[in-house]
């Protein structure tokens, strides 16, 4: 059987990858030590998702390993010949990073370096896919000539980035947040291992990654947490920009199919912006309206004037480069499809408790 290693395998993107590759008869190895619970509390634990995966897939093996543990990571690579590594494990919140910068950096940057070095040493013919982030561009998008509309901020239709921000945007001379800095460090390492050692690597710089298996929490998981608040009656806090800040959202399945296309025709040291693009994007105010429509419940909203440091006012990904390189790939889920799935999954989980 073909072997794939997936880090963060009980998280949103990792678990989607486990499901996808198990169903394609890969021998799937997952690493996840539920650091999400450490970062965000019990409600954010991924233990439930881990149990679902182990119960459903006989070709899935789970390892409670910290990606910073170089000895255990080395042993796993020495004992197995992986053909694909999908690296999704991370400290994912730029708010949390400021509380403990050392943990943030060692998980995001050092952990990635450990994985890359073992990939280079033990399975250099494999493909290494890294889940990066649009936060590597820092707050530079906030200096675009945005126009305030009733429900969102928007760019003029004749602006070069109207259809989305592409990979040419500079990552220099802007404020990233410490999370953005640690992920940018990892992103550059992934590129450099590809270019310097001529390995097959890619950084996918995602917008909002979303889907029904997200353990959403206040500091991470926009749509999942928003729907959770709507269902449970918990107040939702908007931080700055009147709730008109815009995000593109890509369903976890659509992201994994993009990974699969790259796996079959990989480049070296590649970079792609990936997200919902103009196909699937939404402001917070628009998302609140849609959550209320789907759930049939009124959401209690609290507006705070202060914005989060380094937060984007407007982000839509230009995925033209990826589409050009992989014309057979396309979206399956729009924002309403995704929120409906999230609603149905969360309602089921609450009923089972």
Q: What is the pTM of this model?
A: 0.96
Provide the domain limits for residue 91. Answer: 3-352
CA separation for the pair 63, 81 (Å, rounded): 16
Note the pLDDT of residue 1: 61
Tell me what the pLDDT averaged over the chain comes to. Answer: 96
Q: What token pair was written down for 213? A: 């298996």
Domain count, the chain: 1
CA separation for the pair 123, 200 (Å, rounded): 11
Q: Averaged in consecutive runs of 10 residues, what is the pLDDT profile of the chain (353 residues)?
A: 94 97 98 95 92 97 98 98 98 92 98 98 98 97 98 98 98 95 98 98 97 84 91 93 97 98 98 98 97 96 87 96 98 97 90 73
Note the pLDDT of residue 353: 65
Task: Please report how many Cα atoms fall inside a 13 Å half-sphere around the Cα of residue 12, on the Cβ side.
Answer: 28
* CA-based nearest residue to 231, from 151, 352, 345: 345
CA separation for the pair 142, 64 (Å, rounded): 39
Cβ atoms of residues 204 and 258 within 8 Å: yes
Give the CATH number for residue 202.
Answer: 3.40.50.720
Note the pLDDT of residue 323: 98
């Amino acid at each position: 059987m073909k072997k794939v290693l997936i880090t963060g395998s009980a998280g949103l993107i990792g678990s989607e990858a486990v499901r996808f590759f198990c169903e394609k008869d890969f021998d799937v190895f997952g690493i996840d030590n539920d650091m999400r619970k450490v970062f965000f509390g019990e409600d954010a634990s991924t233990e439930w998702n881990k149990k679902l995966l182990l119960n459903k897939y006989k070709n899935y093996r789970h390892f409670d390993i910290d990606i910073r543990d170089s000895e255990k990571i080395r042993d796993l690579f020495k004992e197995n010949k992986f053909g694909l590594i999908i690296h999704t494990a991370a400290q994912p919140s730029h708010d949390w990073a400021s509380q403990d910068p050392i943990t943030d950096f060692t998980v995001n940057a050092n952990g990635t370096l450990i994985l890359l070095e073992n990939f280079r040493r033990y399975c250099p013919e494999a493909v290494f896919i890294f889940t990066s982030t649009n936060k590597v561009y820092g707050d530079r998008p906030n200096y675009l000539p945005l126009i305030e509309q009733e429900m969102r901020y928007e760019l003029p239709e004749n602006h070069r980035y109207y259809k989305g921000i592409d990979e040419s945007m500079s990552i220099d001379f802007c404020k990233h947040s410490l999370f953005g800095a640690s992920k940018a460090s990892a992103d550059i390492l992934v590129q450099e291992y590809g270019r310097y050692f001529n390995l097959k690597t890619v950084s996918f710089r995602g917008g909002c990654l979303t889907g029904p298996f997200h353990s959403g929490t206040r500091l991470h998981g926009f749509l999942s947490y928003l729907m959770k608040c709507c269902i449970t009656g918990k107040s939702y806090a908007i931080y700055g920009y009147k709730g008109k800040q815009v995000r593109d959202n890509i369903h976890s399945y659509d992201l994994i199919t993009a990974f699969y296309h790259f796996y079959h025709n990989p480049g070296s040291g590649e970079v792609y912006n990936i997200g919902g693009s103009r196909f699937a994007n939404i402001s917070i105010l628009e998302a609140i309206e849609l959550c209320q429509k789907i759930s049939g419940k009124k959401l209690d909203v609290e507006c705070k004037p202060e914005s989060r440091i380094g937060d984007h006012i407007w982000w839509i990904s230009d995925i033209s480069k990826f589409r050009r390189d992989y014309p057979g790939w396309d979206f399956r889920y729009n924002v309403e499809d995704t929120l409906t799935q999230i609603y149905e999954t969360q309602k089921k989980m609450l009923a089972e408790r």
